[in-house]
Structure 1
Amino acid sequence: MTAIEEPTRRPSDRRCAILQEVSDALRMANDGATSIEAFLAGTSVSQREVIDEFGSMDDLVIALVENIVAFMLEPLDESPTEATFMRQLVAYGRRVTDEYADLRLKNLYRIAITDTIRDSRMKGEFYRRGPHVVQSELARFFRSAQLAGVRLDLDSRRLAGHFMAYLRVGWDLSGTGPQADGSQPADGVGRRVEGFLKGIRPESNDACTAVHDQR
């Protein structure tokens, strides 16, 4: 007998609305609040609703992180080809840079660090559902690109680590807010991707020409 797969459970409309409203509150707040309850107080969402939809306040934080991660990783969903590799990597880099420049992720990190003091489980869950997923999926993308014929000589896990570190250097140098001319940090992602690829395969000029169309 063929097993019948359970249909994927779609999030309720109220759950999505809560995530959106709390995300907006996190994005707008710049007062150094360190608890999800403090951010929730500025919304129309009650703690009772959070418990009903997510199970706990910590689970709301994890769901918010998962939403951000899913958004950042979306450009890597399709298996890369030699023709799409650069476009996908630049699109991913832009999304990651935008999120790290955004108060929403900074506030979530602050909440997670504070909650870790109260509950060590939170630290493991936050890392496992957030940074670990990003690193693993980026490594998978690089491995898929290698199998598709893109010349990347390093191990895919090392490539993922190096690429994220390279992006962070760009954030540190350019700052995480709008520049003096009003441009956003993500505007230079194409150039940073170009520099990264030139660094790992200096004898190749392929990346230099391909990236210009992605800026």
Structure 2
Amino acid sequence: MNSNIVAGPRRSRATIMEEVAKVLRATDASTNIEAAISRSRVSMQEVADTFGGKRELLLAMVSELSDAMSASLSTDPTQPELRTRLIEYGQCVADIYATSHLRSLYRIAITESIRHTGLGRDFYDVGPGRLTQRLADFFKAAQASGELRRADPQLLASHFLSLLRANVDMVEFCPRELAADVFAVVDVFCDGVNGEHRHVEPA
């Protein structure tokens, strides 16, 4: 048990996740969730009592970030224009990817999925898979409203997120540079998908 843990009222799920997230953001090199927990103010018993285990904690943490990155997609798909909504979404995803503990969670999942059968699939389902699916649903709604040319929304979502991640990975975090990269990605995506057609009638 961690020697720096002070007994007290039972902490919430959100508090426990944030305590572990602080460690992951500080080290940025963790490949083991148990090691991250041991360096936090959280005990393995707390994790077991609250989440069921360290695996469930890992999945809960990536699920929380996926929900945060997808939050802007819950707005009305007809207002404002598609490009503006994609910029807002792209900036949110890029900010979280560049400044949060998400990269550490990815490294941990890759390392631990070798030892734990099914972890890689479960991590994908609540992490990158959920992020891609929610963007695909958004693109499907945009196609139905005539804002986006007909194409496989799943492929469009994967393409957009790949462009976004590639640009974020290429630069050190700087809010101004990151915003410029997001604008560039959205322009490349919209021009590539719609070309000169900024609005098309639904099929």
Name the count of aligned residue pairs. Answer: 190
Runs of 4+ in 1 over 6 A off after TM superposition: none
Map of 2:19 onto structure 1: 21
Task: Using the TM superposition, name which of 187-196 and 138-147 deviates more.
Answer: 187-196
Report if aligned partners of 2:32, 2:108 keep a CA contact under 8 Å in 1.
Answer: yes
- 1:60 deviates by 0.2
TM-score (norm 2): 0.84
- Contact preservation (8 Å) 1:66, 1:129: yes
Aligned pair partner of 1:199 in 185, 188, 192: 192
SS at match of 2:42: coil
CA distance in 2: counterparts of 1:114 and 1:201, whole angstroms: 39
Whole-angstrom CA distance in 1 between matches of 2:12 and 2:41: 12
Partner of 1:178: 173
Q: Provide the residue aligned with 2:42 in structure 1.
A: 45
Name the structure 2 match of 1:212.
none
Unaligned stretches of 5+ in structure 1? 1-11, 207-215
1:75/1:89 contact within 8 Å kept: no
User: What value does the CA root-mean-square deviation take over the aligned residues?
Assistant: 2.1
Shift of 1:15: 1.1
Q: What secondary structure sits across from 2:161 in the alignment?
A: helix
Counterpart residue type for residue 196 of structure 2: E
Question: 1:108: Cα distance to partner?
Answer: 0.6
Map 1:91-130 → 2, pairs under 5 A: 91-102=88-99, 104-130=101-127
Identify the range of structure 1 (146-155 vs 43-52) with the bigger mean alpha-carbon deviation: 146-155
In 1, Cα distance between equivalents of 2:95 and 2:33: 22
CA–CA separation in structure 2 for the residues paired with 1:83 and 1:101: 26
| Cα contact 1:82–1:148 (8 A) shared by 2 | no
Q: Out of 160, 165, 168, which is 2:162 matched to?
A: 165
Q: What percentage of residue pairs aligned between the two structures are identical?
A: 35
State the secondary structure of the residue aligned to 1:33: coil
**What is the alpha-carbon distance in structure 2 between the residues aligned to residue 103 and residue 38 of structure 1?**
18
Moved more, 81-90 or 20-29: 81-90
Q: Quick one: which amino acid aligns to residue 18 of structure 2?
A: Q
Give yes or no for contact 1:28–1:103 (8 Å, CA) kept in 2. Answer: no
TM-score (norm 1): 0.80
Displacement after TM superposition at 1:85 (Å): 2.6
